[in-house]
Amino acid sequence: MKPQIPFDNSYARLPDRFFARTQPTPVAEPQLIHLNRALALNLGLDPDWLASPAGTEILAGNRIAEGSEPIATAYAGHQFGNFVPQLGDGRALLLGEVLDRDGQRRDIQLKGSGPTPFSRRGDGRAALGPVLREYLVSEAMAALGIPTTRALAAVATGERVVRETLLPGAVLTRIAASHIRVGTFQFFAARDDIAGLRALADYVLERHYPEARAAEKPYHALLAEVAARQAELVARWLLVGFIHGVMNTDNMSVAGETIDYGPCAFMDAYHPRTVFSSIDQHARYAYGAQPQIALWNLSRLAEALLPLLDPDEPRAVTEAEEALSSFGPRFEAAFHGGLNRKLGLATMQEGDPVLAGDLLKLMAENQADFTLTFRNLSRACEAAEADEAVRSLFVDPTAYDRWAVRWRQRQAEEPGDAASKAAAMRAVNPAFIPRNHRVEEMIEAAVERADFAPFEDLLAVLARPYDDQPMYARYAEAPRGGGIGYRTFCGT
């Protein structure tokens, strides 16, 4: 009989020091909370089997699927700027990889599957609240079109985990292009393990950057390509008001996906200094700091790669600087191009970044809701009477009126009719994001009352973020007070 999940385990074929072979720890009473059927099909898996008791046992870590070779991967990382030479999967296990319908290799990982040799003092478990948050927000990001890890399933364990209080436990099945992080490179660099570093770089080139492998200087091309994807990714975050919250180098994927949804959150009222994470006391990972932090992390990746770039260190440093030099322009182009599309401007003119920047400045001064401002602008683009829906978001509505005159002048220079411009704007300005107050309500219902209806509702509405869904209008509303003062906590 053919195995239910056609695992291949290319990472487990790398040298032994890349990981620890570890079995998941079974849980008391696995119960499937939700299965992502569409994703299962895309991975070539049978959703009915996955949802069956036998499938659920695998998604809970109670049984190992045929062909799976579970491993906890080793990595290091800078956490809030401080280097930790060994982190690793402390509560996650890579079950293996599958080739999806498009022939892409994807990791299947359990998160919350019990202790590993990398757990340090942790219990290796995950609480239900953070599992549902990651499920919902990563799926919302995917629906927004932003590269991200995906959620295949959430399973309740029937066990409690000890945090500040006792909380219900859960296991998330996460799908990723890979789980290789900047910190994975740092792990080998910190040990002067050049052979390991080279094996990892070659693996990443083959898996994620085959075109760079053919370049004259493959490791230089690798660094430049990782930087390019990261520049695009962070621009996409900013354009929807996403704050990752804990951009440590161990939480940055070299494949360019958003990964590790812990204290992440979407901004309500716009302000570039917005921070939600309770542990980010110095605002290191504030909304507007994300591009600089991405570059800082890439500089740590460059440092780790130095021995591969050139045997002569000064020359290697020059190579690294050269490879990273395109990050800034690439980010600026992606960000300003994206802002223009949000404003319904298909072409780019010299004054456009100032026009967009002035709107953002006014939004910050007037505590305007980020998502609603742009969504409502999409209506105002077609009908000036819809201006009221935008201006009322500003503490001083006349600030918008003055800016709107300039916007309309610029709009008039664009080809196309108002209806098609408005449609183009709606396609990039979501009506629905995972609003923090709704995410909190959803978690409270699930944790306090085992009521998963709000989770299902939110998941459904966030799957179509760019469509007006009148019956879900309440999910588009901003919280009272602009969400200022909202706090998130690390997923542990």
- Residues identified as active-site: 250
Q: Which of residues 241-260 bind Mg ion (CB under 5 A)?
A: 251, 260
Residues present in the chain in total? 492
Stretch that binds ligand AMP, among 84-92, 173-181, 237-245, 368-376 (CB under 6 A): 84-92
Closest CB to Mg ion among 75 and 276? 75
Q: Is residue 89 within the footprint of Mg ion (CB under 5 A)?
A: no
Nearest-CA neighbor of 172 among 30, 273, 307?
30
Nearest-CA neighbor of 403 among 445, 357, 336?
357
- DSSP symbol at 470: G
Closest CB to ligand AMP among 4 and 79? 79
Q: Is residue 122 within the footprint of ligand AMP (CB under 6 A)?
A: yes
Strand, coil or helix: 305: helix
- DSSP symbol at 413: T
Q: Is residue 124 within the footprint of ligand AMP (CB under 6 A)?
A: yes
Answer for which of 45, 87, 128, 308 binds ligand AMP (CB under 6 A) is 87
For residue 244, the minimal CB distance to Mg ion (Å) is 11
- Which own/partner pairs from 355-361 qualify as long-range (CB within 8 Å, at least 24 positions apart)? 355/406, 355/407, 355/410, 358/403, 358/406, 359/403, 359/407, 360/270, 360/272
Closest CB to ligand AMP among 119 and 326? 119
By CB under 5 A, the count of residues binding Mg ion is 2
Residue 361 assigned ligand-binding role? no
From the list ligand AMP, Mg ion, none, pick the one residue 491 interacts with, judged by a Cβ distance below 5 to 8 Å according to partner type: ligand AMP
Residue 91 assigned ligand-binding role? yes
Residue 88 assigned ligand-binding role? yes
Answer for which of 228, 386, 445, 490 binds ligand AMP (CB under 6 A) is 490
What spatial distance separates the first Cα and last Cα of the chain, rounded to whole Å?
Answer: 39
Q: Is residue 260 within the footprint of ligand AMP (CB under 6 A)?
A: yes
Q: Is residue 128 within the footprint of ligand AMP (CB under 6 A)?
A: no
Stretch that binds ligand AMP, among 210-218, 245-253, 278-286, 451-459 (CB under 6 A): 245-253
Residue 300 assigned ligand-binding role? no
Closest CB to Mg ion among 181 and 236? 181
Alpha-carbon distance of 112 to 61, in angstroms, equals 9
Nearest-CA neighbor of 201 among 216, 186, 298?
186
* One-letter amino acid for residue 313 of the chain: E
For residue 72, the minimal CB distance to ligand AMP (Å) is 8
Q: Is residue 262 within the footprint of ligand AMP (CB under 6 A)?
A: yes
Residue 111 assigned ligand-binding role? yes
Over the Cα atoms of the chain, what is R_g? Answer: 23
- Give residue number: closest CB to Mg ion: 260
Angle 241-361-430 from CA coordinates, rounded to 5°: 30
What pairing do the DSSP bridges indicate for beta strands 126-127 and 166-176?
Answer: antiparallel
Answer for which of 78, 91, 150, 300 binds ligand AMP (CB under 6 A) is 91
Alpha-carbon distance of 244 to 277, in angstroms, equals 9
Rounded to whole angstroms, what are the CA distances from 68 to 124, 188, 228, 467?
A: 20, 25, 33, 40
Binding site for Mg ion (CB under 5 A): 251, 260
* Sequence ranges of the binding site: 88, 90-91, 111, 123-124, 174, 181, 251, 260
* Sequence ranges of the binding site for Mg(2+): 251, 260
Binding site for ligand AMP (CB under 6 A): 87-91, 118-119, 122-125, 246, 250-251, 260, 262, 490-492
